[in-house]
Structure 1
Amino acid sequence: MAAPLGRLICFPHAGGSANFFRAWHQWAPADWEVAAVCYPGREARSAQPCLTTMADLAGQLADALAPGMDTPTVFFGHSMGASVAHEVAARLAGRGAGGPAQLFLSARAAPHRLRRTGTGDLTDDGLVAHVAKLGGPGAELLRDPDIRDLFLPPIRADYRLVDAYAAGPKAPAVEVPVVAYYGEDDPGPSPDDVRAWASLTTASFDARPFSGGHFYLVRHEAAVVQDISGRLAALR
């Protein structure tokens, strides 16, 4: 099998998994590989403790991804994953490891627009209600006590990471093009919060809205991947 021309690496949302992106390969360019990172504490890494600081998570992922940066690579991150993608990109650039050629960021406020919410400290019922309000895939399954016990710990750990990150240091601007996607009815970051990513790149910036809320991506994943694919033409 020929080596891929490039790679699209996806970063999941808080509590999310690599499986969220399982269908993306069918809309991506045939000569590009689609991969997704798996955070500790879920799926194949379920036996590993969840990480609760961005420094630890982004540092581990930068270590893992650095050897493959000789292949043209772009990052896509949804919600928390957008912050993770930005932090990993900045760390790779700081090491001289190349980093991604473009950043595609979804449903996430720019770092300087983030605010601590305290979501990670909610009761179990409160956290389940918050996830349900955002409309994430499988949120209704958390009503089952057995499933809740399995999936709620990584969700809580991720929200605690997000809160700590909102109050802590952030990576600087990157030197690659940034594209931001968002749902027009997202109860989280406002369109202005998302467009504020423009100040986090020294290259070009674009933003594209979609109908829907925080998980607009579930309904529009084909359109988003096709939009990304069109923007990859410059790298082909």
Structure 2
Amino acid sequence: MAHRPTGRNKWLPRPPSAAAAGRVFCIPYSGSGASMYRQWPREQDGVEFLPVELPGRETRFAEPVPQTYQELAAAMIPALEPYLDVPFAFFGHCSSALAAYEVSAELIRTGLPAPARLYVSSQVAPQDGPAGRFLTMDDAGFAAELEQLVTEQGGTPNPDLIELYVEVLRADVDTYRRYVMPDPYPLSCPITVVGWTEDDIIPYDTMGGWPKCGETTSVLLEGRHHRLMEAPQELLRLLTTGLGAR
């Protein structure tokens, strides 16, 4: 078992529980921080959900956004390694599905503990991207998207914060745009692909390339692209499967 460090871990807004039967590391998507998972429970059936805080947002706003998902994975792993002592999985939605894929691949390549499963939501396979309307948006489009998301979540858009997060979103989309992977690394862990019936950003029928990345199961859930933020019970049940859930 890896030594557990003392003190604050800047990648994890809250410390993992020593009593957890399993863990799901939840990576925020473009332009968002760990707080996008604020409606999620801390745990379900003994499996804890751990939002990951990425450089360049929220508590780490002053840090530069990584230029590639491979760079992000290499930086993330040392911080998470002490907590890979129980069955664990990564969950990523939209662009963060690719970050979750890359950190899973890096763990497997380097012989570190491998995920029990990778969960990718609303994203095409690495060899099929990049895709989606964000690639053609200007800053005004990014601002409108962020304002709509804040409003849908019951908040009131703050112009100053929107301006700051447009910069984060632009940097994230640039990272996504640079990600070209014609021959993806095949994972030894299984992959669950999650699509949404009303997703007009990454439609479910565009996500069929994931079997090239490993053994794949596909699931279609009800809802729009951002429904995951509401912590739908069918998604939470799916994520706890195979992770020692009681």
TM-score (norm 1): 0.84
Partner residue, 2:5? none
Pairing 1:76–2:91 present = yes
Structure 1 residue runs without a partner (length 5+): none
Partner residue, 1:89? 104
With over 3 angstroms needed to count, the CA separation of the structure-2 counterparts of 1:235 and 1:97, relative to structure 1, is farther
Partner residue, 1:108? 123
Pairing 1:163–2:174 present = no
**1:199, CA displacement in angstroms?**
2.3
Pairing 1:6–2:22 present = yes
Partner residue, 1:209? 220
With over 3 angstroms needed to count, the CA separation of the structure-2 counterparts of 1:26 and 1:148, relative to structure 1, is closer
**1:210, CA displacement in angstroms?**
2.1
**1:52, CA displacement in angstroms?**
2.5
Partners of 2:184 and 2:226 lie apart in 1 by: 25
**1:44, CA displacement in angstroms?**
1.4
Partners of 2:239 and 2:84 lie apart in 1 by: 19
For these two proteins, the number of residue pairs brought into alignment is 229
**1:33, CA displacement in angstroms?**
2.1
Q: Deviations over 1:160-201 (max 9, x none)?
A: 110011x35764111112111111222222323223212211
User: What one-letter code is carried by the residue in structure 2 that aligns with 1:51?
Assistant: P
- Confirm or deny: 8 A CA contact 1:184 1:211 kept in the other structure: yes
Partner residue, 1:199? 212
- Confirm or deny: 8 A CA contact 1:115 1:163 kept in the other structure: yes
Partners of 2:100 and 2:201 lie apart in 1 by: 19
Alignment of 1:170-185 (within 5 A): 171-185=184-198
Q: Deviations over 1:70-112 (max 9, x none)?
A: 2211111111111111100000111100121111111111111
TM-score (norm 2): 0.81
Partner residue, 1:43? 58
With over 3 angstroms needed to count, the CA separation of the structure-2 counterparts of 1:233 and 1:70, relative to structure 1, is closer
Pairing 1:186–2:179 present = no
Structure 2 residue runs without a partner (length 5+): 1-16
Q: Deviations over 1:130-163 (max 9, x none)?
A: 556xx64557979643122222111111111100
Partners of 2:182 and 2:124 lie apart in 1 by: 15
Aligned sequence identity (%):
28
- Confirm or deny: 8 A CA contact 1:72 1:235 kept in the other structure: no
Pairing 1:151–2:165 present = yes
Pairing 1:25–2:25 present = no
Partners of 2:77 and 2:127 lie apart in 1 by: 22
- Confirm or deny: 8 A CA contact 1:120 1:157 kept in the other structure: no
- Confirm or deny: 8 A CA contact 2:22 2:244 kept in the other structure: no
Partners of 1:138 and 1:89 lie apart in 2 by: 33
Partners of 1:67 and 1:216 lie apart in 2 by: 31
Greater helix share, structure number: 1
- Confirm or deny: 8 A CA contact 2:131 2:202 kept in the other structure: no
Partner residue, 2:49? 34
Q: Deviations over 1:18-74 (max 9, x none)?
A: 112223226622x22221111111111112122232222121112322332222111
